[in-house]
Amino acid sequence: MIQRQGYHYRLKTTPALRRSFAQYAGACRFVWNKVLAVNEGRYLAGVPRLNYYQAAWLLTQWRHSEEYGWLAAVSIHALQHCLRDLERAYTTLWAGRTAPPRFRKKFLSDSFRFPTDFQRDGDRLKLPKIGWMRFWQSREIEGTMKNVTIRRDGKHWTVAFQTEREVEPPVHPSTSAVGIDLGIATFAAVSDGTLYPPLHAYRRLQTKLAKAQQRMSRKVKFSKNWQKCQTVIRRIHATIARCRKDFLHKLSTTISKNHAVIVVEDLQIRNMSRSAKGTVEEPGHNVAQKAGLNKAILDQGWGMFRQMLAYKQVWSGGIVLAVNPRYTSQTCPQCGGVSSKNRLQQALFSCIACGYTSHADVNAAQNILALGQRER
């Protein structure tokens, strides 16, 4: 089987390298936004959008023009790969898997990719028109490198190598199967009775972030002090993202190593975190409470956790099943009775029909496992 894997490292940068990275990221962002704006204008005019080859031809014209000739200072391969990413975004949009592509903003989408023409020698990397640089190589890279991506991460820049290698079909060392119930009070309840508390990465730094945003609101927009405050805010957001990702990686690895079959809830997170404010004609109810719930849901990273479980199970030879979570928290595993009165408390499940009691989240996880075994 073909195994694709990414390796992420932090770059050892200099002021000259950071300026080059910012130049490349800015050029790719400009090309993405420019072609996206052209396509939106063509859509409103009823004209078919530009495909990749038409956009690449247009990019060549820009690089030779007087107005956009500064794009010639950037490697053509990085700009062309940006257009391929935009083409892929349209493809997934028509397939109904993602939302329409959006315009990129500075510091939020600072990245660029090289599919070819890069060289690696140990912990050294050479990029076209940028030169050699070093990175902290924390582990060996296995497989054939297909592309390399440079991305801004807070005040740092990182490099990611995407590799591909052929491996023997793995056999999972375990034969056990578990169900997982995801929540907010308890991040993950496993059907074997294990409970994993949540990290609440955003909540931990929420006060610090609010104070930084308050300080920035009192500065003159785009002034030096305003930019300094914005840098602090970006660093806080980067810290939150890193903490959440570290937590999810460790937990997903632990569960994937110990269980061959993992049954999870097929949660519609976008619907669950939808705003309740409604419209002017039909205003919503309990808007502030729903906003707080939405913030807590998005702070957990359920979607990322499920993705991590999926590819780690493929690597280890296990499988991940997704089932409809409807009524799993109200169903009694003993008598099969379903009632909303079975769970009158957050952490306690008590069946009104047979008197069975259990931890509410563990009970839901057991129902999820049973449902997955029936549908398998």
Over residues 167-183, the pLDDT tens digits come to 999 999 999 999 999 99
What average pLDDT does the segment 56-76 reach? 95
DSSP type of residue 217: H
> Is 132 within 8 Å of 125 (Cβ atoms)?
yes
> Considering the entire predicted model, what is its pTM?
0.89
156-166: strand order across its sheet = 111-114, 144-153, 156-166, 2-12, 131-135, 124-127, 119-121
Are residues 204 and 141 part of one domain?
no
Pairwise CA distance, residues 300 & 69, whole Å: 45
> Is 205 within 8 Å of 241 (Cβ atoms)?
no
Catalytic residues: 181, 265, 361
Of 103, 137, 166, the position where a domain reaches its end is 166
Percent of the chain scoring above 90 in pLDDT? 87
For the chain, the domain total comes to: 2
Of 110, 138, 166, the position where a domain reaches its end is 166
Residue 320 lies in a domain: yes
- Torsion over CA: 249, 246, 238, 150 (sign): negative
DSSP-based three-state secondary structure for 119: strand
Residue 171 lies in a domain: no
Q: Over the stretch 294-315, which tens digit does the pLDDT of each residue have?
A: 999 999 999 999 999 999 999 9
Of 166, 194, 217, the position where a domain reaches its end is 166
DSSP type of residue 260: S
Asked which of 138-147, 193-202, 219-228, 268-277 is least confident by mean pLDDT, the reply is: 268-277
Pairwise CA distance, residues 368 & 266, whole Å: 10
pLDDT for res 109:
82
Closest CA to 21 of 148, 163, 162: 148
Give residue 81's domain range.
2-166
DSSP-based three-state secondary structure for 144: strand
Q: Over the stretch 288-298, which tens digit does the pLDDT of each residue have?
A: 899 999 999 99
pLDDT band at 360 (very low <50, low <70, confident <90, very high): very high
